[in-house]
Amino acid sequence: MKNRQWLLARRPYGPIQDSDFNFVETDVPTPGAGEVLVRTLMLSCDPTQRGWIARDSYMPAVEIGEVVRSFGVGRIEASNNPDFAVGDIVAGLTGWQDYVAMNPKDQLNKLPPGAPLELAMSALGVNGITAYFGLLDVGRAVAGETVVVSGAAGATGSVAGQIAKIKGCRAVGIAGGAEKCRWLTAEAGFDAAIDYKAEDVQASLNELCPKGIDVFFDNVGGDILDAALAGLAMRGRVVLCGAIAIYNATEQPPGPKNYLNLLLKRGRMEGFIVFDYMPRAAEAIGALAGWVQAGRIKYRVDVQHGLENAPATLRRLFDGRNEGKQLLRVAE
Ligand X SMILES: NC(=O)c1ccc[n+]([C@@H]2O[C@H](COP(=O)([O-])OP(=O)(O)OC[C@H]3O[C@@H](n4cnc5c(N)ncnc54)[C@H](OP(=O)(O)O)[C@@H]3O)[C@@H](O)[C@H]2O)c1
> Please, what is the minimum distance in Å from the beta carbon of residue 5 to ligand X?
23
Strands (E), 161-267: 170-175, 192-195, 213-218, 232-240
Q: Tell me the pairing of strands 36-44 and 99-102.
A: antiparallel
Piece of 65-73, 109-117, 208-216, 320-328 that binds ligand X (CB under 6 A): 320-328
For ligand X, the closer CB: 31 or 151: 151
Q: How many residues sit in the footprint of ligand X (CB under 6 A)?
A: 31
- Dihedral angle sign, alpha carbons of residues 57, 249, 173, 214: positive
Q: List, in sequence order, every residue forming a beta bridge with 60; answer none if it has no partner.
A: none
Contact flag: residue 317 with ligand X (CB under 6 A): yes
Contact flag: residue 104 with ligand X (CB under 6 A): no
Q: Which of 40, 146, 156, 204 binds ligand X (CB under 6 A)?
A: 156
Q: Which of 245, 281, 284, 301 binds ligand X (CB under 6 A)?
A: 245
Considering only residues 177 to 236 of the shown chain, the ones binding ligand X according to CB under 6 A are: 177, 180, 219-220
Distances (CA, A) of 280 to 129, 208, 276, 308: 9, 34, 9, 35
Q: Which of 244, 292, 297, 307 binds ligand X (CB under 6 A)?
A: 244
Contact flag: residue 161 with ligand X (CB under 6 A): no
Distances (CA, A) of 9 to 16, 49, 67, 136: 12, 15, 10, 40
Draw the binding track, 264-303, toward ligand X (x: CB under 6 A; -: no contact).
--------xxx-----------------------------
CB-based burial label for 196 (10 Å; 0-12, 13-18, 19+): buried
Q: Report the 10 Å Cβ neighbour count for 174.
A: 31
For ligand X, the closer CB: 219 or 313: 219
- What is the helix (H) or strand (E) element at residue 327, kind and residue range? strand 325-329
Instruction: Please list, residue by residue across 76-85, b when 16 or more beta carbons sit within 10 angstroms of its beta carbon and e when fewer do.
Output: bbbbebeebe
For ligand X, the closer CB: 36 or 220: 220
Q: Which of 242, 256, 267, 311 binds ligand X (CB under 6 A)?
A: 242
Contact flag: residue 136 with ligand X (CB under 6 A): no
The three-point CA angle 319-184-290 to 5° equals 110
Piece of 25-33, 147-155, 182-190, 285-293 that binds ligand X (CB under 6 A): 147-155
Residue type, 228: A
Q: Which of 4, 28, 29, 48 binds ligand X (CB under 6 A)?
A: 48
> Please, what is the minimum distance in Å from the beta carbon of residue 139 to ligand X?
12
Dist. CA 297–CA 301, nearest whole Å = 13
Residues in contact with ligand X by CB under 6 A are: 46-48, 126-127, 130, 151, 153-157, 175-177, 180, 219-220, 241-245, 272-274, 317-318, 320, 322, 325
